[in-house]
Structure formats: structure tokens, C-alpha cells
A and B are shown apart, each in its own frame.
Chain A
Amino acid sequence: MKRFILVDYEKCHGCNSCTLACSFAKTKEFNPTRASVTIVHLPDQGNLTFPVLCQNCLEPPCLEVCPAQAITRDEESGVTSINEKLCIGCKLCVMACPIGGPWVDARESRIMKCDLCEGDPKCVKYCGFEALQFVSAEEAAYKKRKEGAKKLSELLKKQG
């Protein structure tokens, strides 16, 4: 069953546990700038914090543009991954992705992106607020509808 990481920005507190867990899992270092997830802080927009990460697109622009064909998509898991042996570091994928999925790990001279940690994403595991959830499409849809219904019912109650 295909699962993906569902982001609920309203629950994010900006603690950065996700970026620390990701960077440690992938680079053995606690360093938010070396993680495949980034917390965007918007101080003058209601102090919002927003996790941004690769969405593992169905039609990944990174995969389409890679001249070395180093990026492939696994049909079963839906994960798009970069084959380090074939990657030449040209950064065309970095240029192609509109949300900043692939990023350059300058320390190790390689291009990284979220690979869902082989089905056990660390960011989800260590998020204490359920801002990141590892769900199937059906689960995600159900959760959203449930929350939507709650909000709507509160709104209707206010209207009386």
C-alpha cells in the first residue's frame, strides 16, 4: 500500500525534531541544514512554521529532466530516488523541482532527497505533534474530511 507523508502545518510547532532526526539518519549529524525536510518559519504570518519536503510526485520533474537517468520511481512505494552511482551532480533536478525537494549535500558532494527512509520515515517517528503523518491516500482523505467536517460544524454552531 502506497503511503506518503502528509503535512499538517497547523500542528507544527517549529521544534525541528524532524530535521534533526532526518539529518542524523541520513548524515550521522544533527544539522537542520543537512536534512531532506525543512521547517520554514514565517514570523509575521501568525508565527507559522511549515514543514517542506519532497512530495514524491506522480510525474516527477526531477526524474524527467535528469540527463544521467539517475532518478527512478518505484511503482510500489511511490518513492522517487536518486542513484548515487549514476548521479553526476549537475543539479538539473534541483532546478526542476518547484518546491526544493532535491538538495545538495556539499559536505559529501552528493544530491539528496527524501526517500521515506525505506518505509519508516524518521521525521514522522519523531514528530511529537502529528504535524507529519505517514498515511495512505485513503487515510489522508478520511482525516482531512473528518477535520473539515469538525470545522464546518463549529462554524455552523457559531451561526446559530
Chain B
Amino acid sequence: MSMGNMKKEILILGNSGVALSAIRTIRKIDKKINIAVISKEGEPFYSPVLLPYYIQGKIPKCSLYPFGFEFYEKNTVEILCGKKVQKVSGKSRKVLLENGSEFAYEKLIIATGASPFIPPIPGIKNRGIFGLRTVEDADLILGHLGRRVVIVGAGAVGIGIAVALRKKGLEVAILDQIDISQFLAGMVDLEIAQEIVKNLEENGIEVFLNQNALDMEFYGNPIQGIRGSGLNLKCDTAILATGVRPNLAFIDPHEISLGSKGGIVVDDRMMSSCPDVYAGGDCVEAVNFITGVKENNPIWPNAVEQGKIAALNLLGIPTVYRGFIKENVINLFDKVLFVAGEMRGEKKCCDERQKLSRIISQNGVIRGCQILGAPEKYGMYLRMIQDGYETDPLSPLFEKDFFWMSKWRGVKKRKNTVHQSLKKSRA
């Protein structure tokens, strides 16, 4: 549905996880209320989670767009694509686009996501140095890929891209400045980190940690390699996966407060500091359910949940956002890593043949989990963390379907907004 000039009842900036989730939630409840979407990209909805699988060649391009533009027609949603926002004025409830158009709104959802940090070197993409966040990035990479690629950044995204390109048949190396003790931002302990690196190396991915970032430089145009601190890695393509920054250049921080990572700070109704301006997804800083501290958590399931809650509150259905739990699934070679929660506390290991597991608890309550091995029913561990299950006795935790087991053991779980593992320590 093309965009008219009338005031929008609900205006959504962004067209990814939060937008899809919000549209679905709103339309389940109200088929008539006006919804409009403004997207900087020219495409219908897609999830960036699919991009490594696309560059691997596992899925065709059409699979990236499961709905096409018919989705917006079907759901009576106005959409304006390929337009960037210049300014949001919360006070006058107006959004100004770079092309000069202006749209008034009653309620706004800011869901513009985040972008990979790329050094502001002119012409960097023409040299073969890319980020991977959009379909455009993916197509540029596919058009440029030769035989050897270096991924800068050994985080969840970097590893995912490395595995995908290795499976495609390329020679792959990963670089990072961290030490192995800081692998995956402390979400895995040293032993699991070492196993992950081993899994990558055994399958032909070279891993170089402890690299001095200040010393590194790309050389060649188009890129021939990366060198510095005694390392010289030849490559024809480099992909930067060192973290994402919220896309919020159009915000006035005096009007819409930003947090330490530059994300919009939201309360437990997903509302920003400006009335009727909601926000969700990779561009916000919302409360971490376990620590109680607001953080940026740019992962897909987070966006989906926050979009839903923002939409409910925006419709006048008060719904408390209890906070997120950091969670991730990383598909390695014949092994999967699952991590969730917070890793500070008492650690108990339960290793079996081909599987390393860790449960982290504090004050007898589970707060974190790391599993490396064959895939399992991860959602149950997440549920245990969410509901603050008590961890004594521990041994049943690693049996399948312990979720039901803990119910029968009379383990108490409480529906509080403060995580159980923190409560007792305050007493």
C-alpha cells in the first residue's frame, strides 16, 4: 500500500524484526487502525539472520523475502521504501525525511536497527572490505568473493559468517584483538572457547586472536591482505564483524534519551523518554532481566519480543517488558553452541562424551547456561533461567526434559520482575 499524506496513527521507522512483530501483533487485535512503515532499504521485509546462509549459497535470494510486498497490502499497511529519515521531532510528532517529505504521527515506533562499524575510509567497499548486515552488503560480497576471505571479529556474527564461507569452499581466516579468555564476550568459559576454536581450526578456518587492532592495516586496492604485528594474511575479501552501532543519527538526544552504547533507552513499556515514542530491537537499550541493568542486545529473538510488547503498549494494552536474557545459538561444524543468561556465579560442569555443559547459578538459582555439543531442547534451559529455578540438586538438569522434573520436585518459581538470583543477595 503506498503512503498517503495523512497523519499516521501508528508510524514505524524500520522494516525488520520489530516492524514485522509489531504489525502482526497490532493486526491480531485491530484490523482497522492505520499503520505506516518507512524503510531505508528498497526491499520488503527480510531477516539479516538469513544473510550468512545466503552468501553460503544454501538459500536462494527469493527465500530472503518470504512475504514480498503483498504482505503490506494484505495487512493494510502503508509502506514507503528506500527513504531515509532525517529528523524525528517528538514534540511536534513529525518525522522529516531526507527528501524533504514530512509525516505526522500519533504514535511512533523507532526500529531502525543497527549497522556494522566500518571505518570511515573513502571507497572502502570498492576495495573489497565489507560489513554484512543488508541484502545489498550480501550481494556486494557475492560479487567480489574470490578464494580467500578474512573475517575481522570473532563474535557470534563473525564465526557464523566464517563457518558459512568455509562450507562454501573458501579459505577463511578470523582475526580478533581479544584473548581467548574473553571469547564471545565472556559467554563461554575457557575450556569451551578452546573447543570452539579447535572445531573451527579442524575444519580449515585459521583463527588469530590477540591481534593488536591499532597495528592492523588493510593493504592493496582491491584488497590484497591484512598485515600488522608480525601477521600478514593474504585475502581478496575482508568482512568486518566487530560489532554494530544503532542507526539513530536522526534522533535529538535531548528529546529521546540515549544510553552508553548510543541506543534509545526504553522503560518497561518499551517507551522512550519522549511520550508516545516507542522503540525496540537493535537500536535500543532495554533492561537485562537477570542483572537489572539496561543494555543493548542486538539479537533477532529480542527484536521479535520487543516489537510485540511495544505494539501492545502502544495500543493501550499495558504489558510489562520483564527484560531480555542474552541468548545465542551458533552453528559450528557438526556441533552447536548454545549460551544463555549471565555467566558470573557458581559454575557447575557436566561434561559427557562429545558434550561440554556448564550451569551457572547464584544463591542457588540458575542464571546462565553454556552447552557445546549436539543440539538439544535449548528453550527449556532458557525457561529455567527465566523462571529462576533452584539448582539444587543439579544432576537432573542435564537429563532430557527436566523442565517437568523440576515441577514435580516442588521447586518454586516466582513471577517477579527481579531475577531470583539477585533477590537473595539483597536480603
Contact = CB atoms under 8 A, between A and B. Distances in A.
**Do the two chains belong together in a single complex?**
yes
B60 to A, nearest CB: 10
Interface in B397-412: 400-401, 403-405, 408-409
A100 B67 contact: no
Interface in B58-80: 58-59, 63, 66-67
A64 B21 contact: yes
B377 A96 contact: no
Contacts of A91: 329, 331, 336, 375, 378
Contacts of A99: 377, 379-380, 383, 403
Contacts of A48: 408
Interface of A: 38, 40, 42, 45, 48, 50, 52, 61, 64-65, 67-70, 86, 88-92, 94-100, 103-104, 106
Given A64-B308, A92-B329, A97 B377 contact: yes
B52 to A, nearest CB: 9
B63 A90 contact: no
A42 B408 contact: yes
Contacts of B170: none
A89 B403 CA distance: 24
Interface string B340-353: 10000000000000
Given A68-B49, A92-B300, A100-B400, 16 more contacts: A45-B408, A48-B408, A61-B379, A64-B24, A65-B300, A68-B66, A70-B66, A90-B49, A95-B338, A95-B378, A95-B379, A98-B380, A98-B382, A98-B403, A99-B377, A103-B375
Given A69-B66, A100-B377, A95 B49 contact: no
B300 A67 contact: yes
27 contacts: A40-B404, A42-B408, A50-B401, A52-B404, A64-B21, A67-B49, A69-B66, A88-B50, A88-B53, A88-B58, A90-B53, A90-B331, A91-B329, A91-B375, A91-B378, A94-B376, A94-B377, A94-B378, A95-B301, A95-B329, A95-B340, A98-B383, A98-B403, A99-B379, A103-B377, A104-B375, A106-B374
A86 B338 CA distance: 22
A25 to B, nearest CB: 21
A96 B63 contact: no
